[in-house]
C-alpha cells in the first residue's frame, strides 16, 4: 500500500505501517553512517549528551557526494544498514524510531525495533541522483571533520522508501529470500 | 618503433574518465537495465527498475553522480611495450588525475589512508592500479570505480579439484544469496576461476569490465554464464532485494590455468551501477 508520512516518526506512525508498504516521507531526518555512529556511541559511553534530538527521530544511513553550487546536497542514496547494526539497538532504546538504509539487519536490531515500536525502511540503493531531488535542505550538525561522514540534518519531501521491517518485526526480505 | 607518451595526457584522461564514469553508465549497462524492466514480473520490482532508469537520466542531465558512492578508483592499465612514458611516474600521473577528477567532478572522497586508523585522504587517492605490459605502442586504460556495498559481499573460495564445476556453481550461488539486498541488486557478477589466490580475484574484477551482453569465447564457460544467470534470477531476490526475477543482469566468467592441487574461485559482486570507461591513448 502507498502511504504518506511525516516526521517525527511517533509510535502512532509506526503502528500504521506494514512490511511491504511503499511510503513517501516528508520532514526532518538526520543523516549518519559508520563514523558518526561510532562518535555518538563514544559520546554516550563518556556520559555526554547526543548531538541530536533522538526522540522519535529518523536516521538515514547515507554519505552524500559534495553538492554543486546552488544545490542542497549531491548524490544521496542509502548505504548498507548492516554496518550500523552494532550501534542501532542502543539508539532505538533511547527513542529513535526510524532507520532508512538498505540491506539486511541483525536479530538484535529486529528485537530492538519490536521493543521500541520502531521501523526500518529501505530506500533504493544506487538511486542517489533521484533521491537527491527529494532533499530540499541540508545542514551539518557536527563531526564536520569526517567529510562525507559528517552528521547532517536534512529536510525531505516525499522521499520514497519501502517498509522492510515493521514494528511487529515482520521482515519483507525474509519473505523474498530463498 | 618506440612511441613517446607524456604522462600529462594520462592525468588529463584519468580526470575526465572519473567524471564520465560516475555520471554516465556505458550503453551496454543502460540497455541491460531497460531489457530487465521489460522482463521483470514483480510490480514493485518494475517500479524500482523504473526509478533506476529515472536515476540514470537525472544523473546525466543534472550532473549528479549516479550513486553517492563514487567508489574506490580501480584502473587496469595495459601498457604497450613499445611505449616510452615521459613526465611523471605512471602511478603518480593516474593518482593526480583521480585527485582532479574527484574534486572537479563533485565526487565523494571515500578512501581512508590506513585501514585501521581510518583517516580520510581527502582526495580519493590512492587508486588501485593494475598495470600489465602488452605488445604494441598504445596505452589502454580501463577505469572501474567500485562501490563497497557490493565489494563487501565479494568472496574467494579455495575449492578442491574434486569439487569440480558443481562446486563452482555452489560458490557463485552462495555469494549471491549472502549478498541478498546488501549489494544493490540487480547485480553484475564477475567470476574468476583458476590461477592463484590473487589471480582469480583480478580475473573476477576484470570480468566486470567486459561489456554486458557479451559472453565468454570458451563454449563451456559461456554455457556456465547463462546457466548461472538463470539460477541467480530464479532466487527471487529481485531489484533492491525486494523480490522479483531480476537479481542479476549478467554473469561474466573468466578462467586461467591453475595448480594440480587447487580450484580457486573468486566472485566479485557488482551492483547495477557497474561503471566502466575505456580509453586508448
Ligand atoms: S553497492 Fe553500488 S549502487 Fe549500491 S550504494 Fe554501493 S555503489 Fe551505490
Domain at B112, CATH number? 3.30.360
Atom 1 (ligand 1) nearest CA = B149
A173 contacts in B (CB within 8 Å)?
180-181, 241-242
Q: Write down the mean pLDDT value for chain B.
A: 96
pLDDT digit string, tens, across residues A26-41:
999 999 999 999 999 9
Q: Using an 8 Å Cβ cutoff, are A119 and A98 in contact?
A: yes
CATH classification of the domain holding A21? 3.20.130.10
Nearest CA in chain A to B69: A65
Residue B89 domain-assigned (yes or no): yes
Distance from C-alpha of A120 to C-alpha of A166, rounded to nearest angstrom: 7
Same domain membership, residue B230 and residue B175: yes
Does the CB atom of residue A126 touch ligand 1 within 6 A? Answer: yes
Same domain membership, residue B131 and residue B250: no
pLDDT digit string, tens, across residues B92-134:
999 999 999 999 999 999 999 999 999 999 999 999 999 999 9
Does the CB atom of residue B270 touch ligand 1 within 6 A? Answer: no
pLDDT of residue A178: 58
Q: Is B235 on the interface with A (CB under 8 A)?
A: yes
| B188: containing domain | 148-273
pLDDT digit string, tens, across residues A47-82:
999 999 999 999 999 999 999 999 999 999 999 999
How does DSSP assign B55-116, residue by residue? HHHHHHHHT--SSS---B-EEEEEEETTEEEESS-HHHHHHHHHHHHHHHTT-----BSSTT
CA atoms within 13 A on the CB side of B22: 34
Distance from C-alpha of B253 to C-alpha of B194, rounded to nearest angstrom: 11
The answer to whether the Cβ–Cβ distance between B51 and A22 falls below 8 Å is: no
Residue B95 domain-assigned (yes or no): yes
The answer to whether the Cβ–Cβ distance between B68 and A122 falls below 8 Å is: no
Q: Find the angle CA(B111)-CA(B117)-CA(B120) to the nearest 5 degrees.
A: 30
Q: Find the angle CA(B212)-CA(B215)-CA(B217) to the nearest 5 degrees.
A: 145
Same domain membership, residue B243 and residue B205: yes
Distance from C-alpha of A23 to C-alpha of A161, rounded to nearest angstrom: 5
Same domain membership, residue B250 and residue B169: yes
Choose the final residue of a domain: B102, B130, B145. B145
Q: Percentage of residues in chain A with pLDDT exceeding 70? A: 99
The DSSP code for B259 is -
Q: Using an 8 Å Cβ cutoff, are B155 and B102 in contact?
A: no
C-alpha cell at B201: 580475484
pLDDT digit string, tens, across residues B7-56:
999 999 999 999 999 999 999 999 999 999 999 999 999 999 999 999 99
Q: Is the pLDDT of residue A161 over 70?
A: yes
CA atoms within 13 A on the CB side of B153: 29
The strand pairing partners of A159, in sequence order, are A25
The answer to whether the Cβ–Cβ distance between B55 and A128 falls below 8 Å is: yes
Q: List the single residue in B56, B65, B184 with the smallest CB-CB distance to A75.
A: B65
Q: Find the angle CA(B178)-CA(B183)-CA(B186) to the nearest 5 degrees.
A: 105
Same domain membership, residue B152 and residue B136: no
Q: What is the CA radius of gyration of chain A?
A: 15
Q: For A18-25, what is the mean pLDDT?
A: 96
Distance from C-alpha of B69 to C-alpha of B274, rounded to nearest angstrom: 12
Cβ of B276: how many Cβ atoms within 10 Å?
23
Same domain membership, residue B243 and residue B176: yes
CATH classification of the domain holding B202? 3.30.1330
Distance from C-alpha of A87 to C-alpha of B4, rounded to nearest angstrom: 54
pLDDT of residue A176: 82
Q: Is the pLDDT of residue A177 over 80?
A: no
Split into its structural domains, chain B has a count of 2
| A53: containing domain | 2-176
Same domain membership, residue B259 and residue B182: yes
Same domain membership, residue B152 and residue B138: no
Q: Is the pLDDT of residue A142 over 90?
A: yes
Distance from C-alpha of B177 to C-alpha of B181, rounded to nearest angstrom: 9
Same domain membership, residue B216 and residue B164: yes
Same domain membership, residue B118 and residue B155: no
Q: Is the pLDDT of residue B84 over 90?
A: yes
Does the CB atom of residue B201 touch ligand 1 within 6 A? Answer: no
Atom 8 (ligand 1) nearest CA = A126
Amino acid at each position: 500500500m502507498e502511504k504518506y508520512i511525516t516526521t517525527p516518526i511517533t509510535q502512532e506512525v509506526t503502528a500504521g505501517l506494514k512490511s511491504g508498504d511503499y511510503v513517501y516521507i516528508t520532514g526532518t531526518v538526520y543523516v549518519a553512517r559508520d563514523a558518526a555512529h561510532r562518535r555518538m556511541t563514544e559520546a554516550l559511553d563518556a556520559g555526554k549528551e547526543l548531538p541530536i534530538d533522538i526522540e522519535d527521530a529518523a536516521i538515514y544511513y547515507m554519505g552524500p557526494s559534495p553538492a554543486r553550487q546552488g544545490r542542497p546536497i549531491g548524490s544521496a542514496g542509502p548505504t548498507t544498514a548492516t554496518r550500523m547494526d552494532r550501534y542501532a539497538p542502543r539508539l532505538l532504546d533511547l527513542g529513535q524510531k526510524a532507520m532508512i538504509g538498505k540491506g539486511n539487519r541483525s536479530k538484535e536490531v529486529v528485537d530492538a525495533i519490536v521493543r521500541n515500536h520502531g521501523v526500518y525502511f529501505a530506500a533504493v540503493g544506487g538511486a542517489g541522483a533521484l533521491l537527491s531531488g527529494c532533499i530540499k535542505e541540508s545542514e551539518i550538525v557536527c563531526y564536520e571533520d569526517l567529510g562525507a561522514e559528517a552528521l547532517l540534518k536534512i529536510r525531505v519531501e516525499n522521499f520514497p522508501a519501502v517498509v522492510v521491517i515493521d514494528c511487529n518485526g515482520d521482515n519483507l526480505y525474509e519473505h523474498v529470500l530463498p | 618503433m618506440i612511441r613517446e607518451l607524456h604522462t600529462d595526457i594520462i592525468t588529463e584522461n584519468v580526470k575526465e574518465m572519473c567524471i564520465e564514469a560516475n555520471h554516465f553508465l556505458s550503453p551496454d549497462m543502460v540497455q541491460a537495465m531497460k531489457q530487465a524492466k521489460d522482463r521483470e514480473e514483480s510490480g514493485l520490482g518494475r517500479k524500482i527498475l523504473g526509478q533506476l532508469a529515472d536515476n540514470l537520466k537525472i544523473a546525466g542531465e543534472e550532473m549528479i553522480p549516479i550513486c553517492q558512492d563514487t567508489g574506490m578508483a580501480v584502473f587496469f592499465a595495459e601498457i604497450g611495450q613499445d611505449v616510452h612514458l615521459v613526465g611523471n611516474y605512471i602511478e603518480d600521473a593516474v593518482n593526480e588525475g583521480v585527485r582532479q577528477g574527484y574534486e572537479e567532478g563533485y565526487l565523494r572522497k571515500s578512501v581512508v589512508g590506513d585501514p585501521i586508523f581510518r583517516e580520510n585522504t581527502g582526495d580519493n587517492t590512492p587508486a588501485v592500479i593494475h598495470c600489465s605490459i602488452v605488445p604494441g605502442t598504445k596505452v589502454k586504460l580501463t577505469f572501474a570505480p567500485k562501490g563497497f556495498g557490493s565489494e563487501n559481499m565479494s568472496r574467494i573460495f579455495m575449492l578442491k579439484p574434486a569439487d569440480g564445476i558443481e562446486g563452482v556453481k555452489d560458490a557463485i550461488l552462495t555469494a549471491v544469496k549472502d549478498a541478498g539486498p546488501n549489494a544493490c541488486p540487480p547485480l553484475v557478477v564477475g567470476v574468476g576461476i583458476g590461477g592463484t589466490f590473487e589471480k582469480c580475484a583480478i580475473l573476477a574484477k576484470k570480468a566486470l569490465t567486459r561489456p554486458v551482453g557479451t559472453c565468454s569465447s570458451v563454449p563451456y564457460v559461456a554455457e556456465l554464464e547463462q546457466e548461472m544467470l538463470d539460477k541467480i534470477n530464479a532466487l527471487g531476490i529481485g531489484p533492491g532485494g525486494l523480490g522479483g526475477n531480476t537479481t542479476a543482469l549478467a554473469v561474466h566468467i573468466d578462467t586461467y590455468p591453475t595448480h594440480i592441487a587447487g580450484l580457486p574461485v573468486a566472485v566479485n559482486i557488482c551492483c547495477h551501477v557497474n561503471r566502466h570507461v575505456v580509453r586508448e591513448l
